[in-house]
Structure 1
Amino acid sequence: MEKRVSRWVSLGLLAAFMLLFGAQSALADMETCLECHEDVVAANDFMASVHGENEIACLDCHAIADLTAHVDEGVLPGPVDCASCHDSIAEEHAGSVHAQNEVGCVDCHSGIHTLTPAPEGKQSIVNGCSNCHEMEGYAESTHGKAIAEGNEDGASCADCHGLHAITGLSTCDVKVARSFGTDACITCHGDEEMMERNEVYGGAVHTYLASYHGKSYRLGYPELTATCADCHGSHDIYPEENPAATINIENRADTCGKCHDGSTRLFSQFYAHGDHSDFDNYPVLAVTFWAMTALLVGTFSVFWLHSILWMIRGIADNKEKKAALAAGKAHIEIPDGHRVYKRFQNYHIFMHLLVIISFLILALTGLPLKFSTQHWAQVMMDFYGGTANAAFGHRIGACITFVYFGMAIVLSIHFLFIRKDIPGMWLQRLFGPDSLMPNFRDIKDVTGMVRWFLWKGPKPTFERWNYWEKFDFIAVFWGMFAIGGSGLMLWFPTFFGTFLPGWVFNVATIVHSDEALLATGFIFSVHFFNTHLRPEKFPMDFVIFNGEMHKEEFVEERGDQWKRYEDLGITEQFFKEKPSSPIYGLVLRIFGFTAVAIGVTLLVLMVMAILGGSH
């Protein structure tokens, strides 16, 4: 026991001796140096400095290999290396714009021998930067005034630029420089508690990130989009009511005009931070959002229920057919059921190919922007080479869409007013059996299908067009009005901004985004099921690719159309003696399966994103 106590006492005495010796050594070292350098360093001032208080001796900074040569021959000490103690800070400084311009430690930390800890508060940082940098714009800004008034929530130079790892924005990569204009702002403005206690709008960050500008920034392509600094300025940031503010109502058109050439006062009424969840301040956005949400929920609820019921009933129906075949009975016995008849003309097939190509282009280039928070969106956007390339591709898809829509208009006019093989005047044709316009028969068909779903009646037979095909066709016209109209406004904003207020673009963004979500979700789920994935057709119905149907299929699915053609004596007009070639069929099968695979993949990614909270 006595040995253990003795050991601890010895260790304590040794530690005390080392501390005392170290302090005396540092003092002796300084006294030796001051014999020659007392005109440069006062002992009391140095000992009161941050270095003196931490017992940093002269030789810790001024390394002297040969003291005799230094004293007798004037050999200078080696260069001071602050990194010997401040290694992490020195590493940050080494890659900074200050190091590139030979601004060293002592240029900011002047009076190194009498240096004391920096005064508390951000004003000392601002004062230090002002020794080299002009502060006139900053001093009068919102941030500068806040710091001067002692508000530590205000942004000092270091809050935006950092202390030591300061990037030179004029010489760095353009993407880094452009990102800085937003990166520097969202750190503080994304802190809702800080914004609330300073009575500053707390939704600036999330509304910006929800906009096209913010989504492009989030995806890593800020080069051609507006950052915070582009609209609000960098150092000379003022409240909106200040006449000098870039976002003042009198200056806003010029601010927008920096990117949008030809910007007008009407155009500048765009809600840069419009929030559809804020009904009090943005009622038109809230109403638009909830109207579109109701449309999405209503449409998907009805048609997904329709698809689920159909799938259940279709599987049961297939089992009945297989059981009948196993028993040696044909489910439907039709003479010459193998004969091939033409359902679609070549121009129908061509138009549908345009629809598929344009729709996939629009979906592939638009969905990554819609779901910009998702990793897959980033991967896809990187594959395209950025949002600018994606936008170019999106507009190509839009142009193809306008082409086939124009073709549909021409064919509709031809059908109503010019064709000779369709009986009746235009109004009779419009609501006749060869028309895609809904009519009273569709009510009977819907009722018949529901009864079949519920095992209350036989599966109805249809005319040339059934009700879900008519819905798809009518949806094109609604989609062109909603998606096409809003898309044109967003494509040519300054043109429309000459006669429409800027907040219309906020409305157009909501409509375009949600209607596109409805269109892609509907096509990749409901349309794919109705056309290809229902039990009767799985895995794919190729009639739209080759235009051909066997008689058995024709009679079973469109018995009323077949009966009408028989009564008119025109069935043989549609008989096809030579079906399409195997190579043609193979190519279109590959194309069709590829299109369905892409669509289903995008649907899965969309569902995952929505369930994960992205919108």
Structure 2
Amino acid sequence: MKIRNIRGLLAAVASAALLWPLSGHAAGGNAPAALDNATCLNCHAAGKPEIKVEDAEGEDAEGEEVALPAIDPAKVAKGVHAKIDCVACHTDIVDAKEKHEKAPNAVKPDCAACHEKLWDEAKKNNQAAGKERLGIVVENIAAYKESFHARPDADNPDRPKAYCNQCHATHDFAVPVAGTPEREKWRMTIPETCGAACHEDQLDDFTSSVHGKLIEKGDTKGAVCIDCHTTHEIRNSSSEAFKLKNVLACGDCHTEELHSYRDTYHGQVNRLGFVYTAKCADCHGSHGIKAGDDPKSRVHPDNRLKTCQKCHDDKKPGMVKATAGFVTFGPHANTHDFEKYPKMWIAGKFMTALLIGVFAFFWLHSGLWYYREWQERKERKTVPHVRTGELGVNEGKHFVRFAWGWRVAHLCFALVTMTLVLTGTTVMFADSSWAPKIAALLGGPKVMGIIHRVAASLFVGIFMIHFVYVMSRLLRNRKFRWFGPDSLIPNWKDLADCWGMFKWFFGKGPKPNFDRWTYFEKFDYWAVFWGVNIIGWSGLMLAFPHVTASLLPGWVFNVGTLVHGEEAFLAAVFLFTVHFFNNHFRPDKLPPPDVVMFTGTQSLEEFSREHPAHYQRLVESGELEKYLVDAPSRQMHVGSVILGLTLITVGLVLLVLVVTGFFS
């Protein structure tokens, strides 16, 4: 009843019924009085007898009377409308009689139309520069027209859900200047403005919340309605636009929590523009937010599992019921607070050291290598041509370096890895400008998740097939030396070769004579083993959270997400910088690509130059000819070049995306 009465009152105000004077108060009896402000205030000023009018609007309002608001001249004098005559807005009032006769063609008072007209006139007369606040009002009007409040009221479709004057006191309207104590004092009255008229239930919840208690104490840190819902562009709270913006609204005050939330999968999906993962209000509530140590709080340890199970529930498509470990998951865990999150702090320091160490060493290695080869090119230093004819070998022959199985596995690895990088870093760097576009192009995070998991399964499957095949062959070969020159296991020669390369970089010694596998090729090979275990196991735990949380504490999700993402970042950047340089962009390799991994063969000159120790062993043992084949056909070579350039281009594009995502 209270809300209906107030709405009826405001409807009466909007229909220009404010200025109906009482009988006998109009000067001159039945003669019309001057319609100036003083005449209006004779009846409508504060302290005058209450004026009631019949509420003619609303289905249940017939015959019911509502009181018109009294006008306080002192407040009006301080308001922005102080110099405006009453009849300037109430143009349909033409007399000072008790029952006003209305002008037949006059429009009802309309705040929006009036301000828009004034702004149009200001722009037309080149006076807009001095009336910026009027321009802001017009912007607010445009926002209001698109808002939830401007929609037709369910009970009375002929009127909107809220008029301007339901929030603004039109007669004594005066919002203080931003940044002043008066503005903060006015701001803290907003919950009562919103709640008393329309949102009583929400006001009750808000009053008992942490925000409401701060406002009650006069603490301006407490959030009020407009901080979360905005002022004029208020959206339906169930809309995706509102839910996305509401997270940012919370983050305006809770900056640290926003950053840590965005590092979780929940926040990453939200950053991509999707709202199906948990948001602030899903965990903390909305109007009735309680402190974390309050037993009634949704995030209190006693209530946390139940809160998680609101989303993680078997009854929801694609979801599984949350298990005990979810309780200790840290939705706001970070890597810089050792006291609260020691595991994250340790993991963060380890991953930072790993990234810096790997990149510092190999980027320095690549830079020095590039410089040295470039200098030798300028000095026209070349490796003597191998005269294979003297060995009884046809100079047109190629050396078989990789069997077809290695080449197929490499190509599959390349395609799968690039797919993993694209789908994974799109989520990881969701803040970047390109990530939401890629996510939308691929069908959203859910589809990307499926693609990512399928690609990961293929990656692990190829790895396991390769591992089983290689081990079965080696275990059957009684003559194979595990630390010999044909083995990919690192040995002392690799350490000596690495040291020799740095001496060569600085002109302090000759370039090492590499055998079948160089130390940097072995690093590439064993990095896959490291990646499969670190990225694979952490990804598996994140893919099946209910299983993980039933066996392990929830903080493993935080550490797993960190390690999974940063190790993948390390792998991607290493592949598209160091690996590409070693195999395609060294001066001796230019122009790219090197197609040995696609054709499986390379010329004897290139083989002897890059692996002289291996070449010499084969010559001395007389086994060289066993590995010689005809050079690849032109079609095979051209196809390999096209394939190589395509993969390099895709890799470099991914590198740009990853780097821009990192710095975003």
Specify if TM > 0.5. yes
Could you tell me which residue of structure 2 aligns to residue 138 of structure 1? 206
Question: Does the Cα contact within 8 Å between 1:445 and 1:460 map onto a contact in 2?
Answer: yes
Tell me, yes or no, if the aligned pair for 2:51 and 2:68 is still in contact at 8 Å.
no
> What is the aligned partner in structure 2 of residue 168 from structure 1?
236
Asked if 1:582 is matched to 2:634, the reply is yes
* Aligned-residue offset at 1:497: 1.0
**Which residue in 1 is equivalent to 2:506?**
454
- Paired with 1:477 and 1:540, the residues of 2 have a C-alpha distance of 26
Instruction: Give deviations 1:310-349, integer Å, cap 9, x for gaps.
Output: 22222233345x4679xxxx54433233311211111111
Equivalences for residues 150-169 of structure 1 within 5 A: 150-169=218-237
- 8 Å CA contact 1:29–1:57 kept in 2: the answer is no
For 1:116 and 1:402, how far apart are their aligned partners in 2?
67
CA distance in 2, matches of 1:64, 1:359: 74
Q: Which sections of structure 2, spanning at least 5 residues, go unmatched?
A: 1-32, 54-66, 117-137, 154-159, 177-181, 313-319
Alignment partner, residue 506 of structure 1: 558
Aligned to 2:264: 211
Q: Would you say the 8 A contact 2:347–2:559 is kept in 1?
A: yes
SS of the aligned residue for 1:46 comes to coil
Q: Equivalents in 2 of 1:302, 1:80: separation in Å?
A: 74
Are 1:97 and 2:148 an aligned pair? Answer: yes
- The corresponding residue for 2:352 is 293
Query: How far apart are residue 433 of structure 1 and its match?
Result: 2.5
Q: Confirm or deny: 8 A CA contact 1:253 1:263 kept in the other structure.
A: yes
Classify 1:522/1:515 alpha carbon distance in 2 versus 1 (closer, same or farther; 3 Å).
Answer: same
Distance 2:39 2:395 in 1: 110
In 1, Cα distance between equivalents of 2:169 and 2:629:
98
**Please, which of 402, 411, 430 is the counterpart of residue 353 of structure 1?**
411
1:59 has 2:87 as partner: yes
5+ residue gaps in structure 1? Answer: 1-22, 191-202
Q: Identify the residue that residue 18 of structure 2 maps to in structure 1.
A: none
Q: How does 1:193-342 map to 2 (within 5 A)?
A: 203-219=256-272, 221-260=273-312, 261-320=320-379, 322=380, 331-335=385-389, 336-342=394-400
Q: Are the aligned partners of 1:482 and 1:511 in contact in 2 as well (CA < 8 Å)?
A: yes
Tell me which residue corresponds to 1:402: 460
2:510 & 2:72 partners in 1: Cα distance?
101
Residue of structure 1 equivalent to 2:58: none
User: In structure 2, what residue type is equivalent to 1:371?
Assistant: F
Shift of 1:207: 1.5
Q: Structure 1 residues 111 and 323 mapped into 2: Cα distance closer, same or farther (>3 Å)?
A: closer
Once superposed, what is the RMSD of the aligned Cα atoms?
3.5
SS of match in other structure, 1:473: helix
**Per-residue deviation, 1:68:** 12
In the alignment, is the contact (CA less than 8 A) between 1:462 and 1:561 conserved in 2? yes
Map of 1:5 onto structure 2: none
Conserved 8 A contact 2:35-2:87 = no
Q: Secondary structure at the residue paired with 1:341?
A: strand
Offset of residue 298 of structure 1:
1.5
Cα offset, 1:382, TM superposition: 4.2
In structure 2, the residue matched to 1:529 is 581
Q: Specify which structure has the higher proportion of helix.
A: 1
- 8 Å CA contact 2:35–2:96 kept in 1: the answer is no
Residue 192 of structure 2 aligns with which residue?
127
Sort the Cα spacing of 1:52 and 1:560 in 2 relative to 1 into closer, same or farther, 3 A: closer
Q: 2:522 aligns with which of 464, 470, 473?
A: 470
The residue aligned with 2:601 is 548
- Conserved 8 A contact 1:121-1:150: no
Partners of 2:228 and 2:246 within 8 A in 1 = no
1:279-338 deviations in Å (ceiling 9; x for gaps): 222222111111111111112222222222222222233345x4679xxxx544332333
Report which stretch shifted further, 124-133 or 64-73.
64-73
AA matched with 1:580: P
- Cα separation, 1, equivalents of 2:164 and 2:576: 65
SS at match of 2:531: helix
What is aligned with 1:8? none
Distance 1:444 1:94 in 2: 75
Whether contact under 8 Å (1:278, 1:286) holds in the other structure is yes
Equivalent residue, structure 2, for 1:30 = 40
Which of the residues 422, 443, 456 maps onto 1:364? 422
Question: For the residues of structure 1 that align with 2:562 and 2:488, how far apart are their CA atoms?
Answer: 29
SS in 1 for 2:602: strand
How far apart, CA to CA, are the structure 2 residues paired with 1:394 and 1:406? Answer: 18
- TM-score scaled to structure 1, two decimals? 0.82
Indicate the SS of the match to 2:297.
Answer: coil
Which residue type is aligned with residue 71 of structure 2? F
Deviations along 1:53-72, one digit per CA (max 9) or x if unpaired, are 72544422332397799977
Answer 1 or 2: higher relative contact order, Cα 8 Å, separation at least 6: 1
Rounded to whole Å, the distance in 2 between the matches of 1:72 and 1:302 is 90
Aligned amino acid, residue 387 of structure 2? E
- SS of equivalent residue, structure 1 residue 549: strand
SS in 2 for 1:489: helix
C-alpha distance 99-300 of structure 1, shift in aligned 2 (>3 A): closer
* Normalised TM-score (structure 2): 0.76
Contact 1:365 1:393 in 2 (8 A): yes
CA distance in structure 1 between the partners assigned to 2:148 and 2:68 by the alignment: 35
Contact residue 35 and residue 95 of structure 2 kept, 8 A: no
- Measure how far apart 1:476 and its partner are: 0.7
Letter of the 1:417 partner, please give it: L
Do the aligned residues in 2 keep the contact of 1:30 with 1:57 (CA within 8 Å)? no
Q: Displacement, 1:588?
A: 2.6
Q: May I ask how many residue pairs the two structures share in their alignment?
A: 560
Question: Which letter maps to 1:46?
Answer: I
For 2:122, the equivalent position in structure 1 comes to none
Residue 56 and residue 279 in structure 1: after superposition, are their counterparts in 2 closer, same or farther (change >3 A)?
same
